Each structure stands twice: as C-alpha cells, then as structure tokens.
Amino acid sequence: MFNSIKLRLTVWFLLIFSIYSIGFGFYLYEKQKWASLSAVDRYLNNQSQMLTGLIEIYKSGKIDFELTEEETNYERLTTLYEIPESGHYYQIYFSDGSLLSTSPSLGSFHLPVSIEKALSEKQYFDFGIGPGGERLRIYTKKFTISGSDLITDNQVVIIQTAEQIEDVYGFINSLRNHLIYSIPVILFIAALGGLLVAWISLIPLKDFSKKVSDISHKNLDKRIGKEKTVMELKELAGSFNNTLDNLESSFEQQKRFISDASHDLKTPVSVIKSHSEIQLRKERSPDEYKKTLKTILDHSKRMEGLIERLLLISRLEQKRHPMKMKRILLNAITGESVSMLSPVAEIKGIRLESMPCPKDIYINGDKLSIDDVLINVLDNALKFTPEGGSVIMKVLETDSEAIIEVTDTGKGIPEDRLQSIFHRFYRLDASRTRERLPDIKSNNGYGLGLSIVMEIIENHHGRVEVQSKEGKGTVFSIYFPKMV
C-alpha cells in the first residue's frame, strides 16, 4: 500500500501539516500564556509603584494614602483593595519581617512571603493561592522609602501586590481547548488537500501511461510527444522514445531476418520441388535420375547449412549456446585453423600463412566458438582473394588486449559497406545486384558468417575492426581481453 505515490504524498502532506500545526499551536499557547501573564505582571508593577507613591507612614505605624496629591488614584485603590476576596491584594512588611500594612481585601489572610528572598533579590514574581482559594500572581519588591515622621531615612520595606489570575488561566485554557479541537479538523482538511494535490499531480502520469499503453508492436513508429508532456516527464518521455527507437529497429531487423531466412530457404525448396515434379512426369533414364538426385542433394545441403547457422545465431542470441570457457593459447588455435584451411588455399592458388606471436598469449574463451570465428574470417579471406594472392593470420598484443589479425590481398570492401557486412544475410555481391538467389555452383555464402563472428566475439567481451581498400585487400582485427 505504501508503494502508492498518492498515499506517500498525502502522508507527507499530513506529516508536515501535523508538525506545523502542533508546533504552531504550542507556540501560540505558550506565547499567549506569557503575554497574558506579562500584562498582569506589568499591572502589578504599576500598582506597586502607585502604592509606593501613595503610602504615608504615620507615627501610629499605619499606612494611609496621600489624599491631596493623588486623589483619583487613592479612590481607585481604596475601592480596589477594600472588597474582601476581590482578587486584588497587597501586603507591606518591614525588613525585620514585621507587618506594616495589608489590603482590607485580604482580611486576616496573609500572602506567602519570604523576607530573605525579597531582601536579596530586590524584586520577583511568583504564584500563590489567595484567601478565596484562587490562583494568584504575586509581585514582591524591596523598596527604600525616604524619611517620614516616624521612619528614619532609607527605611527598607517590602511591598507585595497580588492579582488573581483565574481569568488568565480561563482564557489560555479555552485557547488550548480550541487548539486541541481544531488541530484534528485542520489535519483532516490537510489530508484531503494532500489527496487532491497528489491526484492533480498524478494526472500527467496517468496520461503518459495511457499514451504508453496505446503503443504496441503494430504501431511501434508512434512516439510520446514531448511538447505536450509536463516538464518533469520530458526526460522519461525522451528515454521511452529512445527505447522505442531501439525496439523498432530491432523489430525491423527481426522482420527482415525472418523474411530473408524464408527467402533463402524457399529457393532450394522450389528447386527441389520443380526438379522432382519434372522428373516424375515420365519414365527417366538412371543417369537423369542420378543428375536430379545430385541437384536435390546439393540444395538440401545448402538448406541444412542455412538451418544450422540460423539455429546457431538463435542459440548465441539467447545465450543458450554452450560455452566452455578456458585458457586458450592463441598461437596454437590460429595455427590449427590455418592448417585446416591450407588445402582450400592450395586449390585456389593462394599463399596462406600463420605468423604466431613470439610470446605466448592467452585468452579466456570457448575453443569451439573461437575456432568458428577464425574459420569464418579465413574462409572469407580465401573466398574473396583471387588466385596468386595471399592471406596472413597474425597474433599480436597490446598491454591489455590480444589481437588476431587476418590480412588478405583480395578485392576489398567499399568504405561505405564496412559496417553492413556484419548485418545478417548481407553479401556485397547480392546487395549490389539486388540479387539474393544463391548460386550453388559459384558456392555463394549465406551472408551470415560475420554476424555469427560478431555475436561470438561480443560474448567474449571482445570487438572486431575492419579496414579495407577496394582492389587492394582487407584486414580484419579481432580484439580479446588478454588473460594473464
């Protein structure tokens, strides 16, 4: 299920939104809590300042407010602090811990106070519980009062102002509840949004997939139009079109291969059939029967040869051809193939020579397949070199590669055909005349030898190079990775 892009996008969307909304909610809650508390703190500080300004210390040791100068404030303060359990309180202590005055709203209740802390810290805020059991914010401040009738100069007093903060808690708790209830709703909307975004983003992919599935072996020439494809899929469309190009060309090759193979098989079959029919029309002499049977045999051999090559190509292509890889000494294997074809060279009046390397060079390969390669290349050289010419097979080496080079003084290959000769059924003569019919007597090839060579060399991780000059001769160089 997690293989679905839609689901992954939605989960990512949800995850990012969850982290964001939970983080933001937490930040908002904390920020609001401290903003509300600082408002209370500022208010307590103001009250404390006001109290300081208002107190007048009398001989009796009681605190009163300066009516003349701050009448308004006085009235406000008296109302504020007089109602019992109003939530607004103050307390004033001398530095020796004796109580100087408390707000009437406190009644007989005392706010918690630590004289030592107040004296050492100058001022601080903390929490406490009020006379009505309400939560309080308490501001404690050490203050030095200038002289009065009773108190000597620079007398230190500790003023505490307190406010109930139930309202603040009520507000931030309701904010918290709102956040807690709204987060799931936001996440649900985010999930829906994620699904929608994923769905919209995947529409081009769906279109792309539809276009791809519309392509089959019947319309392999069709391509994905890059102009109409979204930017992110352009690269994919390019790679897909390249794959289609390759598929189309190998499909074409296969089709041509089948048609060429059928054509080359059909010809001997037609010859056999027509000869047999003609012979069967009336009684023939033993010589006539013999001649016909000879023709049938020649054409059957050609068919057999063709079928064997086709099967070999198919096995090599499908990597089903048995290969026994082992260490092969190149000087030995080239010598063997030259000796094998010496009688042919002799009959044709061609000088065939093997030039081994002074050093022993080894490759890792299947001996029978490498034999096939050498015989095919030598056979070609002998086939296309006129009488009096020469064919030389050399073994050479570079630092990393072993090379078998076959040089002939034959008719050569035109520059523009050097690659085509490796194509299946390609024969220079046949392609020039557009004539594909094999002429048994002239011992025409099938045009498959070099494609088999190429297939075997590729299976051995090697490569073939060919250089040729028309009328002068050809050099085939076969490279193998050297075995140390």
Ligand X SMILES: Nc1ncnc2c1ncn2[C@@H]1O[C@H](COP(=O)(O)OP(=O)(O)OP(=O)(O)O)[C@@H](O)[C@H]1O
Which residues of this chain interact with ligand X, rule CB under 6 A?
Answer: 376, 380-381, 384, 408, 410-413, 421, 426-429, 445-450, 474
Residues in contact with 61: Cβ distance below 8 Å, sequence separation at least 6, in sequence order: 100, 150
> Which residue has tokens 């307190």?
162
- Which strands, in side-by-side order, build the sheet including 155-164? 99-102, 88-94, 155-164, 135-145, 123-129
Token pair of 419, please?
């690659």
- Least Å distance, CB 217 to ligand X, is 28
Sign, Cα dihedral of 56, 62, 63, 64: negative
- Least Å distance, CB 321 to Mg ion, is 18
45 vs 431 by CB, closer to ligand X:
431
| Amino acid letter, residue 383 | K
- Least Å distance, CB 299 to ligand X, is 16
- Least Å distance, CB 385 to ligand X, is 7
Would you count residue 410 as binding Mg ion (CB under 5 A)? no
DSSP 274-287: HHHHHHHTS---HH
126 vs 415 by CB, closer to ligand X:
415
CA distance 383 to 380: 5
CA distance 312 to 304: 12
- Least Å distance, CB 379 to Mg ion, is 5
Give the SS3 label for residue 19: helix
CA distance 424 to 448: 5
Computed over its alpha carbons, how large is the radius of gyration of the chain? 53
By rule CB under 5 A, what count of residues binds Mg ion? 3
Residue 462 binds what, of ligand X, Mg ion, none (CB under 5 to 8 Å, by partner type)?
none
**Of 338, 437, 356, 344, nearest in space to 382 by CA:** 344
Q: Which stretch binds Mg ion (CB under 5 A): 51-59, 264-272, 276-284, 444-452?
A: 444-452
- The answer to whether 276 touches 292, Cβ cutoff 8 Å, is yes
Over the window 446 to 465, marking each residue x when it contacts Mg ion by CB under 5 A and - when it does not, the resulting string is ---x----------------
Which position's Cβ is nearest Mg ion?
Answer: 449
- Least Å distance, CB 344 to Mg ion, is 13
- Least Å distance, CB 373 to Mg ion, is 11
DSSP 103: -
- Least Å distance, CB 309 to ligand X, is 6
17 vs 384 by CB, closer to ligand X:
384
61 vs 349 by CB, closer to ligand X:
349
Extended strands (E) in 398-434: 401-408
- The answer to whether 189 touches 20, Cβ cutoff 8 Å, is no
Residue 90 binds what, of ligand X, Mg ion, none (CB under 5 to 8 Å, by partner type)?
none
Would you count residue 445 as binding Mg ion (CB under 5 A)? yes
365 vs 449 by CB, closer to Mg ion:
449
Over the window 350 to 389, marking each residue x when it contacts Mg ion by CB under 5 A and - when it does not, the resulting string is ------------------------------x---------
114 vs 477 by CB, closer to Mg ion:
477
380 vs 474 by CB, closer to Mg ion:
380
- Least Å distance, CB 293 to ligand X, is 24
139 vs 476 by CB, closer to Mg ion:
476
**Of 474, 484, 483, 482, nearest in space to 450 by CA:** 474
- The answer to whether 350 touches 387, Cβ cutoff 8 Å, is yes
**Binders of Mg ion among 24-83, rule CB under 5 A?**
none
Q: Enumerate binding residues for Mg ion (CB under 5 A).
A: 380, 445, 449
